[in-house]
Amino acid sequence: MMERSEVQQNDTLCSRRSRYLIMEFTGEGGFGKVARAVDLITSKDVALKILKKETPSEREIMMLDALRALDPVKKNVVHFFEKFQDQGHTCLVFEKLDMNLFTLLEQRQWEHLTLNEIRPIAHQLLTALDGLKSLGMVHADLKLDNIMLVNHLSEPFRVKLIDFGLSFMSSEDKLGKKVQPAGSRAPEVSLGLPLSEAIDMWGLGCILFYLYLARRPFAKHCQYRAMKGIVEMLGQPADHLLHAGRFTEGFFKKNHKEDGPVWRMKTPREYQRGTGIKPKKWMSPIKRLNELITLHPWIWRFAELEDRTAFVSLLKSLLHTDPEERITPARALTHPFLTMVHLLNQTDSLHVTDALDKMRVVGFDDSDGDLCTDGVAEEESSDEEAAAAPRPVDTDSAVQDGVGNGRHPIFYFFIFSVLYIFLTLQIKTELRVDGASEEESATPSANTTAAAGGLCSVAEDSAVGQHGADPADQTLTSDRSPPATVKKERLRDVKKFLDRVRSAMFRRKYSKHE
């Protein structure tokens, strides 16, 4: 009689310290299977990773053993209990967690997460990456599937990092190795440069982008389109990086013009001629990161507008094309988006109240004085933002600064003045209409909601494509209208913001002539 080699439901696997009853299989991949099991000694649920017989397990076990040096609770990494052999399989025992973030988005029907939901996730992942960096470890496989919610019902948005099967030590020579999930590869991976913990920070930036838009920032199925998307959204990597890259000539070509960078991106035809691969079509959801500030059609308060700006600043620091300039986990934890110092004077805002509530999962409590300005941290964060800003000039930022495209700042002052007059009159009209409507009916006006959304998306680029096999690509924004109770406050906040910008522009304009 042949010996059964496959582990099945209701089987009992034994280690030296316990016995585990297989209740159900919850996942399967090239490595083997993952099962929910019961520890028959403690009667607690555990997650059992059962590797295939031919799957090499030495590296993952070595990484998990090194991970024992970290506190799994404080550092937001999965708790690894033990390893053992049974029925010819290597089995790894972990704490039982809830669902991963990909499943969460599926359950939300690909509705994006809010900034207040993203912030605690970002904080915990940065804490985990900071712990890995202290060990000299690179995760190298950051994706939604490898970020688990601990218990979403009792502890919303508490997460842990899992799956260290592709991890490696930063001291190892990984030059030229294709690591990281497709679509989330740092430029240094694609170019064939030395790798470090900085690739995980890039991966985190891609994850936060995905959570905010429910769409990935760069192409997944075509490495040429992925690199082209990086260049178009973030700017071309510096010449010294391209000179050193082992695979640079696969994407770039020497520029023979006297002015400009030494390298230029290959055209799709040039890439196809050199590789024999025709680049697949791909359209990024945005052209510049600054578009994220106004992409969603409406905001709750002026506080959220400032929060979006801080979020984009963090993304720019995470997605810097130079790994040496990319922000580190420790520095990122002091970024204003995580510390919320920019919300200090708006604690009465609904957005800030909700932010504080959701950040309690990471031990952030304003009653303990967490929401305060720290001179040193704020100064360091400002320096970091300046150093981590992408090298090429961002035309959106240039317009906000009153320079760029060779136009005089007065040109932008004139354009803003016209918009200011028009929008102010529109706001006053909507407030009067809304007030009259409240006397006649308790039903909120959809026009007021649309006006508020329009005011927050005047500069929005509407060329957003929907395509591809990713279900998340079909949903960019929520069609739900904001609650009627905050419509007036929102319109007044927008007007207040316009007044502040107008005053700032007047001060800047006349200070230059003094």
Torsion of CA 180, 186, 191, 195, to 10 degrees: -70
The Cβ-side half-sphere exposure at 326, using a 13 Å CA radius, reads 25
3 state DSSP class of 190: helix
Alpha carbons 213 and 205: distance in angstroms, whole number: 12
Q: What's the distance, CA 280 to chain centroid? A: 24
Q: Say whether 368 is catalytic.
A: no
Quick one: residue 83, left, alpha or beta (phi over 0 = left, psi -120 to 50 = alpha)?
Answer: beta
How buried is residue 264: exposed, middle or buried, by Cβ count under 10 Å (0-12/13-18/19+)? middle
173 Cβ contact list (under 8 Å, min separation 6): none
Q: How far is CA 157 from CA 22, 318, 486, in A?
A: 28, 21, 26
Number of H helices, E strands in the chain: 18, 12
Return the H-helix or E-strand segment holding 159: strand 155-161
Alpha carbons 379 and 382: distance in angstroms, whole number: 5
Could you give the residue ranges of the DSSP H alpha helices within 214-264? 223-234, 239-244, 248-251
Closest CA to 291 of 274, 311, 273: 311
- Please tell me which residue in 39, 130, 141, 394 is annotated as part of the active site: 141
Could you give the residue ranges of the DSSP H alpha helices within 340-408? 350-359, 375-388, 395-400
Which active-site residues does the annotation give? 141
